[in-house]
Amino acid sequence: MNKTEAKSRIDQLTHDLEEHNFQYYVKSNPTISDFEFDNLLKELEKLESEFPELAHVNSPTKRVGGDITKKFPTVIHDYPMLSLSNSYSKEEIIEFESRARKLTEADMEYVCELKYDGVAIGIKYVNGEFMRAVTRGDGTKGEDISANVRTIRTVPMKLRGSDIPSELEIRGEIFFPLDRFLALNKQREEAGEQLYANPRNTASGTLKNQDSSLVAERGLDTYLYGVYSQSKVATNHYDSVLKAGEWGCHIPSVSDNMIKRCKSIEEIMDFINYWDEKRHELNFEIDGVVIKVNDFIQQEDLGYTAKSPRWAIAYKFKAAEVTTVLESVTYQVGRTGAITPVANLAAVHLAGTTVKRASLHNSDQIEKLDLRIGDHVYVEKGGEIIPKVTGVDLSKRASDSQPFEYAMHCPECDTLLVRKEGEAQHYCPNDSGCPTQIVGRMQHFISRRAMDIEGIGAETIDQLYKEGLIRDMADLYDLKAEQLLPLDRMAEKSVENILFGLEASKQIPFERTLFAIGIRYVGETVAKKLARHFHSIENIKAATTEELMNVDEIGERIALSVREFFDNENNVAIVNRLKSAGLQFEIPADQLADQTNKLEGLTFVISGVFDRHSRDELKALIEKNGGKNTGSVSAKTSYLLAGEGMGPSKRTKAENLGVQIISESDFEQMID
């Protein structure tokens, strides 16, 4: 067979095998026998081995796995993968529906879907071809696990149809079918190996496996239910999911009531109640139901919080509950000195895992429950993830039990604990001498959402501290290869990665560096606001409490905490050393040059679709020019920036309040 003939046959086999795969796994309607399929696949494998340059990037032969990946590269998401806010009561769902309807003041339609207990994934297609698959990660960036996702038969390697955007991302959930999970555990039991605890964790671990052939053997599955593209696919979420189904994606079944449009809270509750009862009949695990506002423009009008969309909510089914004995209480010290009591329990099986410990939150919670050592306590998994003690079976309490006495001293450094007025938790004030706090702050500093230092993990920080090589985060930048090489598990390549990661971290922008140094109450969002308002660490250091409180959404508690941090000479010394090491502690001059105060003091609400800018671009322009974005019209709103398809309720409210309504062109003139 010559090269031209081989190309023709490879192209034909690739097309035919993908079609058979689609009919079998997505449509559940096989068109040939397994024997015939295997023979076609073997023929393709043989041709690809003879003519490797003719093999398709997403060839069906890739689905059997075989790639060995030493490391999963990190990829920034084109669209942030936000998590949903969770609810455990139907009353909260009623409040969500009522609030959404009130904010938009328009007819509302919702989409109800199953909340799959699996691993979130975003799959990017370019010109209809599978390009990559990325995990949720921290929501901003995740890991590229494309080689492993290619082995999942319900993930299309090439989309079908002619109306596919040139670039799009389809999101969904990868899960472990229960029949395959039980079969896997049976094999492990027969082999005398430890059983896997639950399908969700096993699916996650499988997807992180370095050998994609093992992933292929496991037989993971997926449902895809979210379409993201700059090109308009549909006007609402439900129709976009159906469109993904037309393209060959394995979407939730409409006929099986796995996805449903609802027009009222009664229909939403019917869907929740139906699946609360029927979920155990599925061949995969779900832990709740997701409710989304259907219309895309209404979604944009409702907007987002820092962590989740306001137009969607997850209702979690009631967690499983068991009783066991409270054997003791120990205390954990956080990086900020916060003390968290932990219940040590007689081991008990709960929701697929063995539970030995549970959070008790704080002393108030212990007092409220009147917990005593030796009590038979009720334990459940909040959202089926974190165990917590919810009550006491008083009928089994011993007659000689004694009231619980909360710790007075830090379990790590024996410093007397303090509890500030109005706060629930006790704190260890020895921030410069308590080993757990010191290590915790450094582990936070190197973490992915902060300095994201490659080559250094939490265990490395612990090792370096115990060896006496670091006592604060600034010490990291004084490390030398000759100090690291003699340590356990420190090969030349490991040391090289650490030093390279430290050097690369000097390019992390100011707002993340500010978050990384660990000022109490200064999370990512607050750090960003402080950085953009003050422009440099020196300006923040010199700011008074009142000046700090003038920053948007910075209250007295945060302002006092920032002031307290910089009033501490030890903290200032560490910051100065980090600055000398070359870390970013100010916004570069060229970025500041792009900023103006043309919109200073003005508040904007954006609604509708625009010709020349996306809504995110408009929001960025408002902030860059000193303005502020909000999601709803109020008396404090300066302008309503109106695009095509703007909700009539926003227009009416703006007119009633005398808020000026402007167009995209009007806005451009304001910042020109």
> Does the annotation count 115 as an active-site position?
yes
pLDDT exceeds cutoff 50 at 134:
yes
pTM: 0.58
Residue pair 287/115 in contact by the 8 Å Cβ criterion = yes
CATH topology of domain 435-507: DNA polymerase; domain 1 (1.10.150)
- Tell me which of 7, 62, 115, 653 is the catalytic residue: 115
At residue 6 the predicted structure's pLDDT band, cuts being 50, 70 and 90, is: confident
Instruction: For residue 384, name the pLDDT band (cuts at 50, 70, 90).
Output: very low
Q: How far apart are the C-alpha atoms of 633 and 661, rounded to whole Å? A: 11
CATH superfamily of 3-64: Helix hairpin bin (1.10.287.610)
Q: Which of 162, 154, 167 is nearest to 125 (CA)?
A: 167
The CATH number given to 510-592 is 1.10.150.20
**CATH code of the domain made up of 86-312:** 3.30.470.30
Parse the chain into domains and list their residue ranges: 3-64, 86-312, 321-396, 435-507, 510-592, 603-671
Measured distance CA(341)–CA(332) in Å, rounded: 6
Confidence band of 343 (pLDDT split at 50, 70, 90): very high
The whole-number pLDDT of residue 63 equals 67
Quick one: pLDDT band at residue 34, thresholds 50, 70, 90?
low
Please tell me the CATH code under which domain 603-671 is placed: 3.40.50.10190
- The reply to whether 321-396 shares the fold of 86-312 is no
- Residue 390 and residue 378 in contact, taking contact as beta carbons nearer than 8 Å: yes
Tens of pLDDT along 255-268?
999 999 999 999 99
Query: What is the rounded distance in angstroms from the CA atom of residue 474 to the CA atom of residue 580?
Result: 10
Q: What is the pLDDT, as a whole number, of residue 336?
A: 86
Least confident piece of the model among 369-383, 395-409, 431-445, 481-495: 369-383
Q: Regarding the domain delimited by 321-396, which CATH topology (the fold level of the hierarchy) does it fall under?
A: OB fold (Dihydrolipoamide Acetyltransferase, E2P) (2.40.50)
* Biggest CA-to-CA distance, the chain: 90
Return the minimum-mean-pLDDT range out of 45-49, 473-477, 572-576, 579-583: 45-49
Strand pairing report for 376-382 and 321-333: antiparallel
CA distance 251 to 119: 16
The Cα 301–Cα 104 span in angstroms is 7
Q: Does residue 385 have a pLDDT over 70?
A: no
